[in-house]
Amino acid sequence: MCGIAGIIKKKNGKVNREEIQMMNHVMAHRGPDAEGIYIDDTVGFGHRRLSIVDLSESGNQPMFSHDRKYMLVFNGEIYNYIELKEHLKKKGAKFVTETDTEVIMEAYRFWGMDCTKKFNGMWSFALYDTVKREVFFSRDRFGVKPLYIYESEDELVFASEIKCITAIRPEQKRANITQIARYLAGYQEDMDEHTFYTNIQNFLPSHSMLYDLDTDTGEYQQYWEINVPKFRKKWKCDNPYPKFLELLEDSIRIRLRADVKVGASLSGGLDSSTIVGILSKKFRAKIHTFSSIYKDKSCNEKEYIDCMNQYADTIPHYIYPDRSDNIVQDMQNMLYYHDGPCFSASPYSGYCVYRGVGEHVKVMLDGQGADELFGGYLFFYRAKLKEVLRQNSRIAKLRAVILIASIWKVYPDIARNLATELLRETPMDKKWRQLKKKMRRREQAQQHTRLKYRKKFAEIDLKIGAQDNYSIINELDKELNLQLQYRLLPRILHDVDRNSMARSLEVRLPFLDYRLVEFSYTLSDEDKIRGSYTKYIMRKSCKKYLPEKVRNRRNKMGFPAPFDKWLRDERFRDEIKKYLDAFKYRNIVDSFSLERCYQAHLSGKENWEEQLFRFMMLEMWLQTEIDTEHKKWVYEAG
C-alpha cells in the first residue's frame, strides 16, 4: 500500500524534479516507510512506500525489472502474486525480490495489457516501458485504490491523491459545478470521471491505458465488466452455499499474506463479524479488532461487538468518537485527506477508528462490498418486490403479499411502503392515485419548511454515464449492480481509502475478491433476500463462524454518526452555524429557506441532518481549496 505520482511532458518538455518531490511530500501519509523518485527527461515518477510485503530495501519503488526494461510505481496489493510468480517462473521469468510489485512487471512482459485479467487484488499503477517508450496505467476492477489524471496540451500528471496535482498546479483549484450539484442532490462520489475539480479526472475502475510517449496519445481498455451469462457458465454449481463459503475463506486466506500484523474492523454487523469469525475459527488467529462506540443508542452496536469479540476470543479496541471536543475541527482535518466534501457524517466514525490502530497492526480486513453483492440494505426489498411483480400473475401477487407479510413484524414502515407498491400494480390504480393525492396534500399541509435552490443552480444537468447493463435482467440484480458500480460502493471505497491512508494503514476487502463478485451474479433472489432476512447466503453458509445473536440480527447500522444531535449540541452548534451562514452567500441555496430548515432541525420537529451536513462540508471545502485571498467563490450561472 503506497502512493504514486508522476509527470509526463509533451513536446519534449523536461520534468522538474522538485515538482515530483512536492507531490511525494503531499502524500507522505500514504507511505511513511520510504520515498523514491525516477526522472528520465520527459518522464518523472514519484513513490511513497508503506512496507507490507518484503520489508527490505529491495521492495522500494520506483522499481526496475531485472533487465531494467520496465520501471513501475504501484499502489496496492496483488494477493495471488505467489501463484502468479510460480506460473511465470515456468514460462522463464526471473525474479530478484519477494514482492508482488515485481510480479506485475513480469506478468506484463508475458501477457501485455491482458495481465490485469489475471490479478486478484487492488491496485493503481504506472508501468514504464523504457524501450518502447510507453506507459501502462491501470486501476483495479472496483476502484479500491485511487488514481487521478490531469492532462493539458503540455503534460499529463497523475497521482493517488488530487492534492498532489493541485500542489504543483494550483491554478487547477477550480470548482466543478456539475459535481457540486450532484453532491447536493444526493448523488455519490466517483460515479464516473468527474471530481470536485473541473480539469482533474477520476481514472475509471476496471480500465487500463497505454500511453505512447512519442505520439502523446493514450489508448483506453476496459479489461473487466459484469457479464451474467458468462459468470453463470464459469461458476455453475449444484449447491451455491458451500461454494460461497469456499470462495470467501480463500479470499480471506490470500488477504492474510503480509510480513506485518493483520487486524480487523468490527462494527457488530454481519459482514465484519463474519470476517472476524473466519479469522478466529478457520485460521486460528488471535486478532486485534477495532470498533467505533457512541453513547447515542441509535448509533450504538456495543452489545453485538462485545458478543462477537467474546465468541472469537479477540483482542478488542474501542474508540469513542463523540468524546472529542473538536468534532468540527476533526471533520475539517478529514476533509484534507478526502480531497473533497464527505457525503455524510458516517466516514467520521471510520476516521476515528483508524486513529491509533498503527500501534497494534499495519493491515486491516474490513467487510465493505457484502451489502451491494448480497442485498444487505433494506431498500433492496423494493427491488425484490419489483422482480416478483414482474411476472404479472395471481401467483406473483400472492408471493408479493407473503413477502410483505414476512417483513411486517420486523420492519413495519418498510412493509407499509411495499404494500403501496403492491397496490400500484393492481387494478386499483384509480383509487391509488386518489389516495396518493390525498396523502400528498396532507404532507404539504404539515410541512412548514422548504429548502429552495436558486433556479439556475437547480437546472444544472446531473446526467451520469450509461449505467444499463443488458446482461442483467433481474430487477434485484439491476439495483445491486447500480449500487456496486455507480452509487454507494464507490463512495464507501473512497472513504475507506482516504481514512485508512490518513493513518498509514492498509485495508483489505475480502468480499470484493472478483471471484466472489462474479459468483454473486449467479445466485437467485432467495439466496440474497429470503423473507425478512437480507444476505441469506451469508447467514446460512457462515453459521459455524458466528454467534446466533449476530447471525440472526436484522437491525442494520454500519458505521453511523449522530450528526443530527451534534447540530443541536452546544459544544459544536456555533461553529457549525458559522459555516452554514457563510454558505448562504454562495448563490446556490435560498438563504431564507436554509435558515428555516436549520431552525426546524434545532427545534427537533424535523430532521435536515443530511442537507445541513453537506452544506457545512461544501463550505469548508470551498473556503479551504477554492476561495482565494482576493475572491470568494460564488456560483454564477453559465
Cα–Cα distance measured from residue 287 to residue 262, given in angstroms and rounded to the nearest whole number: 7
In angstroms, the CA 292 to CA 285 distance is 22
Query: Long-range CB contacts (< 8 A, 24+ apart) of 422-431?
Result: 422/385, 422/389, 422/397, 425/389, 425/397, 426/397
3-class secondary structure, 135: strand
Q: How far apart are CA 376 and CA 273, in angstroms?
A: 14
CA dihedral 619, 621, 622, 628 (to 10 degrees): 130
Radius of gyration of the chain (CA): 25
User: What's the half-sphere exposure (Cβ side, CA atoms, 13 Å) at 157?
Assistant: 22
Are the C-beta atoms of 551 and 543 separated by less than 8 Å? yes
Rounded alpha-carbon distances, angstroms, from residue 97 to 45, 59, 124: 21, 7, 20
For residue 193, how far is the Cα from the chain centroid?
15
Tell me the residue type at 79.
Y
Residues 6+ apart with CB under 8 A from 497: 144, 145, 146, 507
Interacting residues of 72 by C-beta distance below 8 A, sequence separation 6+: 61, 62, 63, 65, 101, 104, 105, 125, 126, 127, 128
Residues of 230-256 as b/e, b for ≥16 C-beta within 10 angstroms?
A: ebeeebeeeebbebbbebbbbbbebbb
Cβ proximity of 302 and 403 under 8 Å: no
Pairing of the two strands 155-159 and 148-151? antiparallel
Cell for 504?
A: 498509514
- Cα dihedral sign, 58-63-64-70: positive
- What order do you get walking across the sheet with 506-508 strand by strand? 315-319, 288-292, 262-265, 363-365, 506-508
CB atoms within 10 A of CB 56: 11
164 is catalytic: no
Q: Kindly state the cell numbers that stand for 597.
A: 430548515
Q: Which residue is listed with cell 470521471? A: 193
Q: How far apart are the first and last CA of the chain?
A: 42
**Active site amino acids:** 2
